[in-house]
Structures are given as C-alpha cells and as structure tokens.
Copies of this chain bind each other. A is one copy, B any other.
C-alpha cells in the first residue's frame, strides 16, 4: 500500500538534517523509462522548485521526484531557483538521469533558503536507501504536521496504481502545502499522463477544502512506467482511470481527515445547479465558509449558514445562480428546507461525518466537496506554529 506498489518503482526516505530529528528527504523513481505529468499550484507566488519543475517538464519526461520537508524554498529569490536546479542536478547525477528528468518538491517554512550543505549529502543517503520497500519511509519523510503517513493503492487487471501524499487538511505549519506522488505500471504514451491526471485531481485534491488557502508549493505528480504487461484497450483505459481516481480520492480524504483539529468530515453535495461550474463554485463556497465550519464543529445543523454561503458563491464576477424558492436542503438525509420552505426539522448531526445535500432545482449541474469543521485546535496550531 504505497507509492512503490506498482511494478518498477523504488523509493526511500531519510533524515538529511533539514529538520531537527524527523525524516526530511524522500526520493521516488521509476527503474525503467516512464512518462509523467504534474499539476502544480496556480498561486501567483510560485515556490522556486515549481518554477524549475515547469521548465523540466517542458524538456523531458520525469523519471524521479525529490521531496524535502522542513523548508519550502518559496520567496527565496534567485538563490532559491539555483538551489532547486542544483538539487535536481545532483539527484540526476546520483540516479544516472538528466537533471531535467528529476522533479523537485519542497514543503515547510517559506522565506528561508534550502540548507544545501545538508540536502546534497542527504541525496546520496536517500539514493542508497531506494528500494521497492521504501514507500512508507518516503511517505514519512514528506510529512510536516501530518500525524500519519498517507498512502493508497488500487489494482486493476494486471496493473497497479499507488500513491503517497502529505497535507494538512486544515492545518499546516506554514502554508497547508499539499503534495501527492502517484505511480503506475500501466502503459501510457508521452502526453497522455496529464489527460488522465487532470480529471482525477479535479474531483479529489481540487474538491477538498482545507482552509481555502492555496499553497505556493502544491503539487500532484503522476509517473507511469509501463512495467505491467497490460494491453491497452478502451476498457483497460477506463479501468486505469478508475483506479487513478480511487487512489487520488483516497489520498485526498486522508488529507482532510488528518487535518489537526478536525472533528467532523463533511461532504457537501450540490445538485440541480445551472451548470457544473456553478455547482462547484457553490459547493466550494459552502465548504470554505467559516460560519458553516464552526457550526459543524458545534454539531449544529445551522442550515441558514449554508444558504448564506450558497447565495454568495463568486462566479463570473458576480454570484452563482440561486433561487431560494427552488432550493431543497438536507442534512444526513433529513430535509430541513423544501423548495424554499423551512420544515421545522432538527436533523441529527452529532456524528463524526455529516452529509449536506443542496438541490438548487435549476438545472443538472452537480459537484461535491469534502470539508472539515473549524475547531479550537485549528486556531491553536495556526496561531502557535512559530512561537
């Protein structure tokens, strides 16, 4: 159950000394030629490593990923870019790859330069640690405030998809950076990886709300090395896509569930929107509303807050379409509002999960979002992290 579950992948995680005592450096590589794709943060402030990765992805297919925790290498100026390039070059030398075949990810404090005197020697140790059994060590080395490593696997007929992620649900010591590495031995041609990755990410990592903040370092990377002997057919492609979605969704759910301070996982399902994009805007607005999230923490089916959020979902410079007279809303299957009329029902929301279903009655647009509550611990950890 790890990033090395698929044939032909090795990984390792070690302590390079970037952080005080925890493992802080991981490598994932394919042992045979792979193709790959990456979805990187769209934040206008890009960590140095993401800038370098974009360049590398334009030049070559990625064969290995280096990830360090502890320092984000973001807002580090020209030096940060040179450090990311040097990291890829040294990893390439050790792994017998071109520098452009190596992607570099960082997560941690921003505005602080990478300690290259520790990172470069650490790469040698990490390379020596590479093994088909090293997936869990790698998943541990990329953790920051995560309380447990996040790994997932899904197997199809003759092929496997595996992955690891780090991310902080609601919380991160610095920027809620979300990283995921997904590997597969399913055979993909160059250029195909992104076509499979994008929809899987949209409905998993892009449909979870942490705290509405988008890191400068977020990245999801897919490596596919064709090590399985599977024959490509339309049916096999569909099976692969399903496995990829499953692994991404599994990792995304683990991220939300592991958010420090999280006491409730809530799924916001929006149906009947004018179109899918408006459904997603509304689901996201509900999932990120501080008032909705504190009500979840208080186990309060405060549905007025859901309506308030639904009515103010930014869309095309205004708000997404809502007609209160057509809205039906339920909590855990109990309808509280039917076509705009409150029913006086008090649903049970005392559990650790909550299903909020909002039917707008306008069209066929639908979307769902996974979110969590906003608790005292969220405030505590984010207020305290540097002190």
Chain A, 344-387, contact with B by CB distance < 8 Å: what is the 0/1 string? 00000000000000000000000000000011101110111111
Report if A174 contacts B (CB, 8 A).
Answer: yes
Task: Give chain A's interface secondary structure class.
Answer: loop
State the CA gap A196–B309 with chains docked (Å): 29
Interface residue tally on A, bucketed by range = 35 or more
- The stretch among A31-39, A86-94, A299-307 that forms the contact with chain B is A299-307
Report if A121 contacts B (CB, 8 A).
Answer: no
* Total copies of this chain within the assembly: 2
Chain A, 289-313, contact with B by CB distance < 8 Å: what is the 0/1 string? 1110011011110111101111111
Report if A175 contacts B (CB, 8 A).
Answer: yes
Report if A45 contacts B (CB, 8 A).
Answer: yes
- The stretch among A53-61, A73-81, A135-143 that forms the contact with chain B is A73-81
State the CA gap A302–B387 with chains docked (Å): 11
Chain A, 196-232, contact with B by CB distance < 8 Å: what is the 0/1 string? 0000000000000001111110000000000000000
Q: Is the CB of A308 within 8 A of B175?
A: yes
Which residues of chain B are within 8 angstroms of A340 by Cβ–Cβ distance?
Answer: 75, 77
Q: Is the CB of A43 within 8 A of B312?
A: yes
Return the chain B residue nearest A342 by Cβ. B111
Shortest A71–chain B CB gap in Å is: 11
Report if A109 contacts B (CB, 8 A).
Answer: yes
State the CA gap A309–B110 with chains docked (Å): 13
Report if A119 contacts B (CB, 8 A).
Answer: no
Which residues of chain B are within 8 angstroms of A82 by Cβ–Cβ distance?
Answer: none
Q: Which of B43, B321, B386 contacts A319 (CB 8 A)?
A: B43
Q: Is the CB of B337 within 8 A of A379?
A: no
Identify which of residues 264-314 in chain A touch chain B, using a CB-to-CB cut-off of 8 Å: 289-291, 294-295, 297-300, 302-305, 307-314
Report if A20 contacts B (CB, 8 A).
Answer: no
Q: Is the CB of B214 within 8 A of A176?
A: no
Report if A42 contacts B (CB, 8 A).
Answer: yes
Return the chain B residue nearest A291 by Cβ. B213
Report if A131 contacts B (CB, 8 A).
Answer: no
Report if A192 contacts B (CB, 8 A).
Answer: no
Q: Contacts A45-B311, A298-B384, A298-B387 known; A291 to B77 CB distance under 8 Å?
A: no
Q: Is the CB of B211 within 8 A of A291?
A: yes
Return the chain B residue nearest A360 by Cβ. B44
Return the chain B residue nearest A215 by Cβ. B308
Q: Is the CB of A310 within 8 A of B44?
A: yes
Identify which of residues 316-357 in chain A touch chain B, using a CB-to-CB cut-off of 8 Å: 316-325, 327, 336-337, 340-342
Which residues of chain B are within 8 angstroms of A302 by Cβ–Cβ distance?
Answer: 174, 385-386
State the CA gap A76–B216 with chains docked (Å): 43
Return the 3 tightest CB-CB contacts between A and B, nearest first. A298-B383, A45-B311, A294-B382
Other A-B contacts than A213-B305, A300-B386, A375-B379, 8 sampled, CB-CB below 8 A, are A44-B320, A44-B321, A44-B323, A77-B325, A110-B307, A175-B308, A213-B291, A290-B382
